[in-house]
């Protein structure tokens, strides 16, 4: 659920309301990762493009993803940049897109996230050379999803309240894919590099379930190292921990969501 905040509401009430409405992303000035969070939010805010009222996939990109990127950006910017968040939400709706069916599970908004289904990458429209795209799940079940660490962790998050036993099973299945550097699932083995957002998902899943994450300290340190000078998070890294790729919106949002958790 999104919330809009008018300028007439006292700041302390705004903070209190945000903590209630979005407990997973509420934080204060004395938060242990305040500097990283502030830089990450500014990275997102600087990408905001007036007129389209959307963020491109990364700086200089011509593609603008409604889901997952802009949906996530609106969620993560609500506490610090409520006006930008509102404009992003409005822009998504203006393009006639209401959901993806998967990423919303991070905020308890996906109706039937599990079992996972195959997805489509759709081009919504083209605005003067700027391509508006979105991701949408289909009705077809996704075979073999249990082999992928990110989907196991997302399933654990989605099932935490309704199916806690199954949620913990999926969480521990994901941990078994940890090789000391990152999650070595089929995607990693094919590319040879590790995905940054999977580190963040592990933190979110552990906190959602109240489970310990054996490599939590190292995971957080790696996340901090993968934040670029621009404030955004780099998409991937190598087995030596070296950043690989560019800072983009989706990775930054999921990293912020993990660091904002208490």
pLDDT digits (tens, 9 = 90+) for 154-202: 999 999 999 999 999 999 999 999 999 999 999 999 999 999 999 999 9
* Global confidence as pTM: 0.87
How many residues make up the chain in this entry? 262
Between strands 63-65 and 117-127, the pairing is unpaired
Residue in the structure block whose two tokens are 């289909």: 138
From residue 248, alpha-carbon distances to 141, 232, 262 in Å are 29, 6, 24
Give the pLDDT score at 262.
Answer: 58
Residue 176, C-beta contacts closer than 8 angstroms, at least 6 positions apart: none
pLDDT in tens, 39-54: 999 999 999 999 999 9
Give the pLDDT score at 2.
Answer: 33
Q: What is the mean pLDDT of residues 98-127?
A: 94
Residue that wins the pLDDT comparison between 95 and 7: 95
Give the pLDDT score at 97.
Answer: 95
End-to-end CA distance of the chain: 20
Q: What is the mean pLDDT of residues 220-236?
A: 97
């Amino acid at each position: 659920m999104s919330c809009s905040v008018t300028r007439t509401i006292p700041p302390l009430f705004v903070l209190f309301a945000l903590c209630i409405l979005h407990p997973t992303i509420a934080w204060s000035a004395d938060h242990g990762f305040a500097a990283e969070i502030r830089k990450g939010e500014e990275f997102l805010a600087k990408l905001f493009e007036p007129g389209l009222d959307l963020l491109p996939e990364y700086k200089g990109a011509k593609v603008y993803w409604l889901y997952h990127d802009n949906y996530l950006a609106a969620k993560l910017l609500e506490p610090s940049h409520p006006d930008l968040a509102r404009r992003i939400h409005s822009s998504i709706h203006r393009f006639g897109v209401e959901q993806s069916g998967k990423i919303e599970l991070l905020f308890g908004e996906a109706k039937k996230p599990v079992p996972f289904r195959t997805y489509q990458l759709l081009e919504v429209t083209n605005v003067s050379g700027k391509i508006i795209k979105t991701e949408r799940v289909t009705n077809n079940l996704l075979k073999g999803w249990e082999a992928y660490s990110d989907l196991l962790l997302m399933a654990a998050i989605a099932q935490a309240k309704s199916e806690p036993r199954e949620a913990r099973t999926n969480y521990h299945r994901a941990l078994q894919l940890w090789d000391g550097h990152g999650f070595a699932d089929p995607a990693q083995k094919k590319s040879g590099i590790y995905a940054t957002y999977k580190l963040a998902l592990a933190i979110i899943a552990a906190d959602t379930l109240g489970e310990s994450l054996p490599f939590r300290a190292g995971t957080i340190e790696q996340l901090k190292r993968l934040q670029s000078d621009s404030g955004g998070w780099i998409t991937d890294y190598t087995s030596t921990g070296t950043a690989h790729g560019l800072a983009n919106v989706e990775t930054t949002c999921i990293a912020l969501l993990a660091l904002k958790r208490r």
